[in-house]
Structures are given as structure tokens and as C-alpha cells.
Amino acid sequence: MHSLPSLQPLYILSGFLVGLLVGQTGMGGGALMTPILVLLFGVHPGTAVGTDLLYASITKSVGTAVHGTNHTVQWPIVARLASGSVPATALTLLAISHFDLSSRTASHVISVTLGAMLLLTALALLFRTRLLALGAARLGTPSPRRAAALTVLTGVVLGVLVTISSVGAGAIGVTVLLLLYPELPMARIVGSDIAHAVPLTLLAGIGHWFLGGVNLPMLGSLLFGSIPGIVLGSLFAVRVPDYVLRPILGVTLALVGATLVS
């Protein structure tokens, strides 16, 4: 921590603001924190992804506890998602362990992947209503069995994407869950999505830690700000309208994603 004393308050503030947003909407964790670390603080993309994954696992554990107390977690959905994402995360970690994540090539690949995921996340935020309408027209109302199978498949896809870029569990996960479980209120979708992110980001973060891609002093500063932020955000999740933050976040992520891809 002594090597970055002047930046510590900025890490704390960043953690608080991102934690607040995650608690309210279930999105914006990796989608905002990783680009903040890369673009504002100049952190290597591999280290930013690894540190953000562990950051997300701890902050979302706190958010899960609050959502659990409010009875806004659908645990069977969490279990289905995790049954797909956990094995997919383990296999992805095994694959990337064969590469030097600190190399320039790896840095470029991670940055481009991160940018692409941010653009996809922005689309999911800005055009959620249209995407849901298109999906509903194609899928109809999925049967419980089909919804369960597609939930596991969603977990597999999220496991791969989140392990590589730390982005996707929030906005993309929420959008798919809204499509598969249209009868559930938004607060339960958000709570379930946050709860599923815990085992996914914890496993991925530990994997990146073993690969040398985590900055622990920076992680401590982020957590110092984010834990109170996510508690406040989770407590007000049912009262803050989703449509207020989505357009602003979507445009921001599109701009950041385009910067990283270019």
C-alpha cells in the first residue's frame, strides 16, 4: 500500500461509487471498475481483471447477504447458473494458465476482449426492452424445463466471458434472466444475479491470483469504499427505478468500450 499512497483515496472513492451502483442495479461492477483501473489508473489489463474479480466476489457477498435478508434471491436460479459457470470458469482458467498474462500480446487481447464485452453490455442496457421483445417473440414463455436448461447454458457462457474480462455477469446476466423468468420482479432478478456472481468471481479471482494477476493493496482500498457502497445500494434496490441509471451507464460503457477496442 505504501507504493501508491496518493492514489489510495481515489481507489476508495471508486470502490464506493461502483459498489453503490452494483447494489442498486446488479450491474456495473466489472463493467466500470476494470476500465477505471485500466484507463484512469494505468493498471495492466490482466491485473485489473484479476483484482476486479476478487473485489467483485467480496462486495457481491455483502450484497447477497442484504438481498437474502430482503428475500430477493431466487436460490434455484442461482444454483442453475453456478452449475454452468463454475466448471466453465475452471476450464477457462486452465486454458489461460498456458499464456503469459503480463505480456504485451496478452495485454492487447484482454483490452480488446474487455472493450467488446463493454459494447455488448451497453447494448444490453440501452436496448433491453427491444431485446426482451425479440427474445420473447422467438422463445415465447419458456417451459420450466427449458428455462432451467437455458439458465445452465447462460452460466457456461458467463463463466468464460467473466473469467477473461471480468465483465458480463451484471447487465448481460440480468437481461437473460428477465427473458427466461419474465414473471419474476426486477428486485429478485437483480438479487439472484448478484448471488450467482459470488462463486463465479471468487473462483475466477482466486485463479487469477495464483497466476499473479491480483494487486492486493489496491484490492484493499477498493473494498474499503465498496462495502458501505454496496450495502446502501442493496438497501435501496427496490426503490430506485432501473430506467434512471441504465441509459447513462449504457452510453458510458459504449464510449469506454469503443476506446479500448480501437
Encoded amino acid at 222, one letter: L
| Angle at the Cα of 163 from the Cα atoms of 215 and 82, rounded to 5 degrees | 120
CA 137 to chain centre: 27
Give this prediction's pTM. 0.86
Q: What is the mean pLDDT of residues 104-117?
A: 89
- Find the range with the poorest average confidence among 75-84, 138-147, 228-237: 228-237
HSE toward the beta carbon, residue 35, CA cutoff 13 A: 24
**What digits encode the pLDDT tens for the residues 41-100?**
999 999 999 999 998 888 788 778 888 888 889 999 999 999 999 999 999 999 999 888
pLDDT band at 4 (very low <50, low <70, confident <90, very high): very low
pLDDT of residue 27: 61
| Alpha-carbon radius of gyration of the chain | 17
- Find the range with the poorest average confidence among 13-17, 73-77, 237-241, 258-262: 237-241
**Whose grid coordinates read 473469467?**
163
Encoded amino acid at 216, one letter: L
Compare 63 and 201 and report the one with higher pLDDT.
201
